[in-house]
Homo-oligomer: A and B are copies of this chain.
């Protein structure tokens, strides 16, 4: 009997889990609004049992957890693995909370422009996505993981060489809801307007930074050159376009996009405007990444 896996993705705001068979098939998935910030200190073991207790009772089950659960605010702080690092380096540096049974996957750290950078959870998606696309041996791949804090990850032959965090989603939300631009934007997002989004991407790609590009939301509105319902799409294009402008050097690489169903199509559109060749995968990258770590432990 091959050992079963309980794969857990435990972030700041959500808790997701999958039951994975010994041959890697995802048998069942669950998702809860039970991120680590909702769990009282010392309450993580109980929270895990509460949501996944029935799965955990199966004999010889292994449970691997990725994400902010390994941060200082999580169950126990799992030290970062330093880049360059491959999947085997990650697997060797698990932090066990129940020896042999329940472990936390380390995040990754790297040094970039004289400052450190960090990720937690995305490393698992990266290694999972590489496996799903058969790119574990590719000479050079860039993985883009859009979100509140987007990650751009450079991988060479299965080794993460380095990565960059860009605060794209968070800055979008601040500009959208808290800045002077909010005054010219509708309270609710209307339908996504592709032309306005593309115009925003193009504006950022022509410009040289978001501090300058962002003001165009206001000035275009002032001269009635941007209809009110299209403004959130335009701003979204500006901010995502700025992310691409900053990372433009990597747009020539083979790009794997690991994103949610809402964000991925926007990044695909924007990357296509840059002429980048993109493949996409969603949440199953996490389950595949955790399955591969589990396989390493078995062998």
Interface residues of A (CB under 8 A from B): 113-118, 149-150, 164-168, 170-171, 174-175, 178-180, 202-203, 206-216, 219-220, 222-223, 225, 239, 242-243, 245-246
Q: How far is the CB of A270 from chain B (nearest CB, A)?
A: 14
Q: Write out the residue numbers on chain B whose beta carbons fall within 8 Å of the beta carbon of A116.
A: 216, 219-220, 222-223, 225
What 18 additional pairs, Cβ within 8 angstroms, besides A165-B215, A167-B215?
A114-B202, A114-B206, A115-B203, A116-B222, A117-B215, A117-B216, A117-B219, A118-B219, A164-B212, A165-B212, A167-B212, A170-B179, A170-B180, A171-B171, A209-B209, A209-B242, A211-B239, A211-B243
Q: What's the least CB distance linking A230 to chain B, in Å?
A: 14
**Bound state CA distance, A208 and B206, in angstroms?**
14
Give Cα distance in the complex from A222 to B150, angstroms.
18
Interchain nearest-CB distance for A115 vs B (Å): 4
Contact, CB under 8 Å: A246 / B212: yes
User: Is A212 a contact of B118 with CB atoms below 8 Å?
Assistant: no
Residues on B with C-beta less than 8 A from A239 are 211
CB distance from A184 to the nearest CB of B (A): 11
Which interface residue of A113, A203, A211 has the most chain B CB atoms within 10 A?
A: A211
For the complex formed, measure the closest distance between the CB of A208 and the CB atoms of chain B, giving whole angstroms: 5
Residues of B within 8 A of A167 (CB): 179-180, 211-212, 214-215
- B170, A216: Cβ atoms closer than 8 Å: no
Q: Given the known inter-chain contacts A211-B166, A215-B165, please indicate yes or no for A113 contacting B206, CB distance below 8 A.
A: yes
Whether A242 lies near B115 (C-beta < 8 A) is no
Q: Which residue of B lies closest to A221 (CB)?
A: B116
Q: Smallest CB–CB gap between A22 and chain B, Å?
A: 37
Which chain B positions have C-beta within 8 A of A242? 209, 211
* A211 and B171 contacting across the interface, CB-CB below 8 Å: yes
Task: Give A177's nearest chain B residue, CB to CB.
Answer: B178
Q: Which 8 A-B pairs have the closest CB atoms?
A: A209-B246, A115-B216, A166-B211, A165-B215, A174-B174, A116-B219, A208-B246, A166-B212
Quick check: A246 and B211 within 8 Å, CB to CB? yes
Task: Give Cα A178–Cα B164 distance, bound, in whole angstroms.
Answer: 22
By beta carbon, the residue of chain B nearest A205 is B113
Bound complex: CA of A239 vs CA of B118, how far in Å? 21
Whether B210 and A118, one on each chain, are in contact in the complex, defined by CB atoms closer than 8 angstroms, is no
A288–B114 alpha-carbon span in the complex (Å): 45
CB contact under 8 A between A210 and B210, given known A114-B203, A170-B180 = yes
Contact residues in B for A214 (Cβ distance below 8 Å) = 167, 171
